[in-house]
Structure 1
Amino acid sequence: MFINVIVDLFFTLLYKLVHITYAIIVFLKRWLLSWQRKVNLTGDLDSLKFNLIKLPHHIVFVVNFNDNLLTINDVASLVTWSIKLGINNISLYDSEGFLISYLSDLENHISQQLNSNYPLKFRGDQQNGSTRHNIIFHCDYSSSKVRVLSLLDSKAIMAMVLKEMIKHDSDRRKLEDTNGDDNCDTQISPEKVDQLLFSKLHLPDPDLAILCGPTPCLFGLLPWHIRLTEFIHLPIFGKLIQQDFISVISRYTKCEQRFGK
């Protein structure tokens, strides 16, 4: 009996020690990163754009509002900095669909930060002629296209693609029966799915995905599109500043993408 009490006490103390050690490590890591943000300034967007070796054609920000560290204004800042840098395709991926409920606030923040003469307005890609079936919300500014995606969008997109492929296959079979042609290709292939996705959504594969927040998680991000995507974690400690974004873009320009080679 006495031995069991000693064993339980030992493992309880060990459990608490591990948690305390982990908390201390997390605190020191956050303090170090916060200190680096203040002293490791890498210039502004204009100087970065001038010295860029490469620029992502499509950038995706994976945002998570459950940690209460990211605000609508922070997300608007990420979009604004990307537009000023000249990135053509900017996507905001929110697995919970939180951003869709605050599109008007996002529009106002982006317009204010860009000092735009006309307000940005997100439009929905409608399916079956109903706004209830919007899949992707998007808006255009200069040469940049901004999209808002969610986990529910991924399911709706794949459902739409499946319906289109079934319809396409049915039409091919009818043509085969009419012409007596047995050479019609009805096989489903990754290339066909790629072509159909792009023709319907005009959504190119992202070159860079930035995981915003303390948790480096994809949250179900577009699995079909991220085969060649470079992932960089952007931890959020306090107020998001431009140097955080510049640091991530600088890391991307220095990385060597081997594309599976």
Structure 2
Amino acid sequence: MVFNIYSFLRTLLSFVYCVVTFIARVWKSFRKNYLELLYKSNYVKNELEFISRESRLLRKTPCHVVVILGNESISFKDLANLTIWCIAARIPFISFYDHSGLLKKKQTELLRILADVNKGYTENIIWGKKSLTNGMTNKNGTKNGIAPQRIHVNIYSHADGKGSIVDVTNNLCQSALAGEFSSNQVTQDLLDKMLQAELGVPDPELGICCGPSFCTFGVLPWQIRVTEFLQLPTHHNVNVRDFVDLLRIYSRCEQRLGK
């Protein structure tokens, strides 16, 4: 009799969980479709103006956003949109992390799509020092005599995460063997400076994990000590309101930095 009660409770809890999950999925789908219809109306006439206006109302915005693609296939158009939206939100750094390394191999495709999405902004995109496209769009464009917002775009793979730490460690060992400094001079501050020099960007403040798995996939392990991670169900067909919602959530986060 006891066994049957436990079995019934397990079945009941499983049923309730499935119902709640289904309702949450339906609500999320309804909300997204509703917002898309609202966006297509006259309520938001220009998505870049909308982002610019909403970002000014936030208590804080990130300086560096890293988008983690996870196991999703790459949507170049959506990555290009995220880049342009960061420009509108005055976010100076955006990085894309694809642990498989496929995005690094096809990063020229991202550049091409960026040019198609908004030619007026590509002149203000600065590609990272490790990008194959570095130097192709490093221009100081102006509009009506005013220098517009510029953004630094970096593309990372698994090799730039743990691989960078290995490279820095090897350099430290070789320098120590060469007598340039002793082992007791190696500190966390020194490692921080060397890794910052290796990557050439500030630590990310907002990490966006794309896909059903809320996982970092090994992204820049030394640089994410104070990163606020949020989940995006998918970066495919991401809309401007999804992006602004993430910025709003980040703005409300109180980072205690271990205190």
TM-score tier by shorter-chain length is 0.7 to 0.9
Report the counterpart of residue 196 of structure 2 in structure 1.
198
TM-score between both structures, scaled by the size of structure 2: 0.75
After superposition, where does 1:71-220 map in structure 2 within 5 Å?
71-116=75-120, 125=130, 143-171=150-178, 173=179, 186-220=184-218
Report the counterpart of residue 50 of structure 1 in structure 2.
56
Query: Cα–Cα, structure 1 residues 237 and 57, in superposed 2: closer, same or farther, change >3 Å?
Result: closer
Report the counterpart of residue 221 of structure 1 in structure 2.
219
After alignment, is 239-248 or 212-221 more displaced?
Answer: 212-221
| 1:95 Cα offset (Å) | 1.2
User: Match of 2:79, SS?
Assistant: helix
**In structure 1, how many angstroms separate the alpha carbons of the residues matched to 2:20 and 2:237?**
21
User: Match of 2:94, SS?
Assistant: strand
After alignment, is 244-253 or 185-194 more displaced?
Answer: 185-194
Report the counterpart of residue 245 of structure 2 in structure 1.
247
Query: Cα–Cα, structure 1 residues 77 and 21, in superposed 2: closer, same or farther, change >3 Å?
Result: farther
When the two chains are superposed, the root-mean-square deviation of aligned CA atoms in Å is 3.3
Gap regions ≥5 residues in structure 1: 1-6, 126-135, 177-183
Query: Aligned residue pairs: how many?
Result: 231
After alignment, is 243-252 or 70-79 more displaced?
Answer: 70-79
| 1:208 Cα offset (Å) | 0.8
8 Å CA contact 1:94–1:151 kept in 2: the answer is: yes
User: Match of 1:218, SS?
Assistant: coil
User: Match of 2:84, SS?
Assistant: helix
User: Match of 1:227, SS?
Assistant: coil
**In structure 2, how many angstroms separate the alpha carbons of the residues matched to 1:185 and 1:27?**
57
**In structure 1, how many angstroms separate the alpha carbons of the residues matched to 2:192 and 2:67?**
22
8 Å CA contact 1:169–1:186 kept in 2: the answer is: no
- Write the letter of the residue equivalent to 2:27: L
Query: Cα–Cα, structure 1 residues 56 and 188, in superposed 2: closer, same or farther, change >3 Å?
Result: same
Gap regions ≥5 residues in structure 2: 45-49, 139-148
| 1:247 Cα offset (Å) | 0.4
- Write the letter of the residue equivalent to 1:169: A
Query: Cα–Cα, structure 1 residues 98 and 18, in superposed 2: closer, same or farther, change >3 Å?
Result: farther
User: Match of 1:100, SS?
Assistant: helix
- Write the letter of the residue equivalent to 1:47: R
**In structure 2, how many angstroms separate the alpha carbons of the residues matched to 1:137 and 1:16?**
55
8 Å CA contact 2:64–2:202 kept in 1: the answer is: yes
The share of aligned pairs that are identical, in percent, is: 27
User: Match of 1:82, SS?
Assistant: helix
**In structure 2, how many angstroms separate the alpha carbons of the residues matched to 1:58 and 1:148?**
13
Report the counterpart of residue 146 of structure 2 in structure 1.
none
**In structure 2, how many angstroms separate the alpha carbons of the residues matched to 1:92 and 1:26?**
30
Query: Cα–Cα, structure 1 residues 101 and 25, in superposed 2: closer, same or farther, change >3 Å?
Result: farther
| 1:80 Cα offset (Å) | 1.5
